[in-house]
């Protein structure tokens, strides 16, 4: 078992409480690591360290910030296997997935390194030619970053890379269910040579996060996680009137029209819900299928789903690992049982996996069919390997079903008709639309949600504005005297 320390002011420190949070390997339910539980006082001290470091880091030129970010990306690429194995040990994702995500993480740091010396304002033309006006983009200060347990390293990169590129300092608080990979990553921060106090990692539970977001010296909060926690954080930061970015969950519709390439659409539906055991905010957990092709799609989906190999995430042949923790395991099984009670038709799966060789939190990939879009399993986020199929009759019906949700994160469209694809995409109330693909990510594309899926954008140049504030400078070039009692225009 590994006992971790936290990373504060470029030093590795034990928590003063002497208490630890156990980290369970979801594949075998065994404790494999211990994470320090920090006190509120330690959180406060860490924020003050980051605040002091901001005074010099904000003045560091973009070329140097870019150099450090690129060096960090180099180190991540050199440590792909190590970081991927830590991540898989913590959340149960198959190793091929976590390897890919670590490489994606490195790409994110390189992308924003390219912007570090290109944070340009604007020269604004004015009616009055004797006034010179321009804007600059200024860093905010200390950014509190709180990440979820399903993809700690890529989720962190979405926030940390632009925060550092724009001159902010950070205090990172990973989920108590999966903190190990973030702490391992902090070793690379140290090796890359970032100045003292610029990047700090603290660990703990919900009270730890609460102390962090409420601190008077925190200038911005960026959070990825559940909607209920987001409400609590939003209320907490409102006392200090600071900006917040929220990347939350979804109940994403994946729409298969009758003119789609059904073979590709079915594979896309599988990828959308059973990739990462359904533990992604963009999971296509509502599959809307045009009635004319419904039976064909159902049969193909069930056949592929029944062949999915569950197993140890470290085995290359494994296609789906366990869900990440016992709380999630219990929640998913509870919602499966609720769906049965509400009358949804179970097509496959529907229970925990019973296998003497697999002692972890394994749930069979599950598919339900229902014509009632109002039942719980068709409305609430499950965050697990559970798909609900809903039929539709025509384009407008599909759009109506897709938009009938409190969430608005992502959607998929499967069709050969380009006109239909454009028109449908325009009417969907989501932040991200895929056409003839699903769960495909690129660093340069903006990512974020609408409605209760959050606000703010990540992974593109749009994100630069999430971590900066605009300053306007107006200079009077005239020698004329002015009337002090009249606004000058």
> Where do the domains of the chain lie, and which CATH numbers do they carry?
2-248+453-473 (3.40.605.10), 253-435 (3.40.309.10)
Place of tokens 């194995």: 85
Strand 345-348 with 286-290, pairing:
unpaired
Hunting for tokens 């971790």 — which residue is that? 4
pLDDT of residue 357: 87
Is-contact 120 76, C-beta < 8 A? no
Catalytic residue, chosen from 27, 97, 184, 281, is 281
Nearest to 370 by CA among 400, 344, 393, 336: 344
The segments of the chain whose pLDDT lies below 70 read none
Confidence (pLDDT) at 262: 98
Q: Could you identify the residue written with the tokens 């390897």? A: 99
Helices in 118-261 by DSSP H: which ranges? 152-165, 180-192, 206-214, 227-238
Write down the pLDDT at residue 216: 97
Select which of 42, 184, 247, 381 is catalytic. 247
pLDDT at position 328 is 96
* pLDDT at site 346: 98
pLDDT value for 356: 83
Q: Is 281 a catalytic residue?
A: yes
Tell me the pTM: 0.96
188-223 confidence digits (pLDDT tens): 999 999 999 999 999 999 999 999 999 999 999 999
pLDDT of residue 463: 97
Q: What is the pLDDT of residues 283-342, one digit of tens each?
A: 999 999 999 999 999 999 999 999 999 999 999 999 999 999 999 999 999 999 999 999
Whether residue 248 contacts residue 281, with contact meaning beta carbons closer than 8 Å, is answered with yes
- Residue 59 and residue 17: Cα distance in Å, rounded? 36
Residue 247: active-site member: yes
pLDDT at 83: 98
Give the DSSP H or E segment for 303: helix 294-305
User: What per-residue confidence (pLDDT) applies to 323?
Assistant: 97
């Amino acid at each position: 078992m590994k006992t971790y320390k936290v990373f504060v002011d470029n030093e590795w420190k034990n928590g003063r409480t002497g208490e630890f949070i156990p980290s369970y390997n979801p594949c075998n339910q065994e404790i494999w690591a211990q994470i320090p539980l920090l006190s509120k006082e330690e959180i406060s001290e860490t924020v003050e360290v980051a605040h002091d470091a901001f005074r010099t880091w904000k003045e560091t030129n973009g070329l140097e910030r870019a150099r450090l970010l690129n060096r960090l990306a180099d180190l991540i690429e050199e440590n792909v296997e190590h970081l991927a194995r830590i991540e898989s040990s913590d959340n149960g994702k198959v190793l091929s997935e976590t390897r890919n995500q670590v490489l994606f993480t490195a790409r994110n740091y390189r992308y924003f390194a390219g912007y570090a010396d290109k944070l340009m304002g604007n020269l604004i033309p004015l009616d009055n030619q004797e006034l010179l006006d321009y804007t600059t983009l200024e860093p905010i200060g200390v950014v509190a970053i709180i990440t979820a347990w399903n993809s700690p390293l890529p989720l962190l990169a979405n926030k940390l890379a632009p925060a550092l590129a724009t001159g902010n300092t950070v205090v990172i608080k990973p989920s108590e269910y999966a903190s190990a990979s973030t702490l391992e990553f902090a070793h690379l921060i140290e090796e890359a040579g970032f100045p003292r106090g610029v990047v700090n990692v603290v660990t703990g539970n919900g009270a730890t996060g609460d102390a962090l977001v409420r601190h008077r010296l925190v200038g911005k909060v960026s959070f990825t996680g559940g909607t209920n926690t987001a409400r609590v954080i939003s209320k907490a930061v409102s006392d200090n009137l600071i900006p917040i970015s929220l990347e939350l969950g979804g109940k994403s519709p994946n729409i298969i029209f009758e003119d789609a390439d059904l073979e590709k659409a079915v594979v896309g539906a599988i990828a959308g819900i059973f990739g990462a055991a359904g533990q992604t905010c963009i999971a296509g957990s509502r599959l809307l299928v045009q009635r004319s092709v419904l039976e064909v799609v159902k049969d193909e989906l069930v056949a592929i789903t029944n062949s999915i190999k569950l197993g140890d995430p470290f085995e290359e042949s494994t296609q789906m690992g366990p869900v990440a923790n016992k709380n999630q395991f219990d929640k998913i099984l509870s919602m499966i049982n609720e769906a049965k009670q509400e009358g949804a038709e179970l097509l496959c799966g529907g229970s925990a996996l019973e296998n003497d060789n697999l002692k972890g939190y394994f749930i069979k990939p599950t598919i339900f069919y229902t014509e009632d879009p109002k039942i719980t399993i068709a409305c609430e986020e499950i965050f697990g390997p559970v798909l609900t199929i809903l039929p539709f009759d025509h384009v407008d019906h599909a759009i109506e079903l897709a938009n009938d949700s409190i969430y608005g994160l992502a959607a998929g469209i499967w069709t050969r008709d380009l006109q239909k694809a454009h028109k449908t995409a325009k009417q969907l109330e989501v932040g991200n639309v895929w056409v003839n693909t699903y769960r495909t990510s690129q660093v340069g594309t903006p990512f974020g949600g609408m409605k209760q899926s959050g606000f703010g954008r990540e992974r593109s140049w749009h994100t630069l504005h999430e971590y900066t504030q605009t300053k306007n400078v107006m200079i009077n070039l005239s020698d004329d005297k002015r009337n002090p009692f009249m606004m000058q225009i």
